[in-house]
Amino acid sequence: IYDCLRGRLDAENGNITMSGIQKYAEQIINANRIIIIACGTSWHAGLVAEYVIEELCRIPVEVEYASEFRYRNPIIHKGDVIIAISQSGETADTLVAIEKAKEQGAIILGIVNAVGSSIARASHAGAYTHAGPEIGVASTKAFTAQLAVLTMAALTLGLQKGTLERDKYLLLCKELAAIPEKVDVILKLDSQIKALAEKYKDAADALFLGRGYNFPVALEGALKLKEISYIHAEGYPAAEMKHGPIALVTEQLPVVFVATKDSYHEKVVSNMQEIKARKGKVIAVITEGDTVTPTLADDIIVIPPAHEVVAPMLSVVPLQLLAYHVGVAKGYDVDKPRNLAKSVTV
């Protein structure tokens, strides 16, 4: 994230430089709709961006799996802007979806890690995440860097569009600049998370729950666990639990709550009570200073406070570490998960 922010964000003076995207600022400010297309982890980053852009820029956002968008006959209006997100920049489904949108006259902005990659070349403009090469196949730092870029873009647009007040803009710039330091604090929880992984590594299934900005983080936590530790995991909006997944809750089921302090925290706490009443095992990612959640959860991971708009960049890190340690504890090669490719080019 530090590399991603460096040179682009001057939080003290409230300057964000994103030359690639700024060229299209006028069209984006006046966009009727933004459609985000991506696959896998990048799709989850797109879901977080939906919350951020709608909140700060008041532009309607749709987030589509590129792998399905290509098979639909999507309706794209003049004035729609497409954002394509990809770590590798080579994902075939995303490339085909881009071509499809281009045929209908859409402007394509690429948020890509790999410089000069096919998706970067197929886009009209965009921003590189500069997350450096992912060592493993499963996307991790690319996710946090994608969120940093998308948040910077939303802040810039919101300010220019007039939907975001300067004071809040400045506050969020500072919040963003503080993220790398807070990630360092979370990385120091490594041995605690390793011990948690030992405790839960034999689970057959796991449930990940979150609300609002943390809902896509729950999806991402479940995907990471599936990808590198081969444990069946489902991510759900916490409020959706009672519409089905609650039937799965037993003493054997670990339920991971992304429960950092935000506008919906009390509601998440009541979801936690519902799980405990059914004897599920609760692991909660919570904010420093929270005194309520520790009385309910079986295990807690305490992370530094952050504004809810930037919180996913922090709350995802313990879940990435958890998936990593479960994979290692089970003896798997977490850098090369079975059946997964770095770039899905077919």
Q: Which residues are catalytic?
A: 342
Among 56, 81, 82, 91, binds ligand F1P (CB under 6 A): 91
Shortest CB 139 distance to ligand F1P, Å? 4
Selected range binding ligand F1P among 71-79, 120-128, 262-270, 338-346, rule: CB under 6 A: 338-346
* Residues 321, 323, 325, 329, Cα dihedral to 10°: 180
Selected range binding ligand F1P among 120-128, 135-143, 242-250, 292-300, rule: CB under 6 A: 135-143
Selected range binding ligand F1P among 8-16, 18-26, 37-45, 177-185, rule: CB under 6 A: 37-45
Shortest CB 312 distance to ligand F1P, Å? 15
> Does 123 engage in binding with ligand F1P (CB under 6 A)?
no
Tokens of 320: 């990435």
The number of residues that bind ligand F1P (CB under 6 A) is 15
Instruction: Say if residues 192 and 185 touch (Cβ distance below 8 Å).
Output: no
Shortest CB 142 distance to ligand F1P, Å? 6
Q: Please give the residues from 232 up to 271 whose contact with ligand F1P meets the rule CB under 6 A.
A: none
Q: Which helix (H) or strand (E) covers residue 108, if one does?
A: strand 107-112
Instruction: Say if residues 282 and 258 touch (Cβ distance below 8 Å).
Output: no
> Does 229 engage in binding with ligand F1P (CB under 6 A)?
no
Among 8, 52, 94, 236, binds ligand F1P (CB under 6 A): 94
What 3-state class would DSSP assign to 235?
strand
Cα-Cα-Cα-Cα dihedral sign, residues 263, 315, 230, 299:
negative
Shortest CB 340 distance to ligand F1P, Å? 5
What contacts 24+ positions apart, CB below 8 Å, involve 55-58?
55/309, 56/154, 56/155, 56/157, 56/158, 56/163, 56/164, 56/172, 56/309, 57/154, 57/157, 57/158, 57/161, 57/163, 57/164, 58/161, 58/163
The contact set with ligand F1P (CB under 6 A) reads: 39-42, 86-88, 91, 94, 137-139, 340, 342, 344
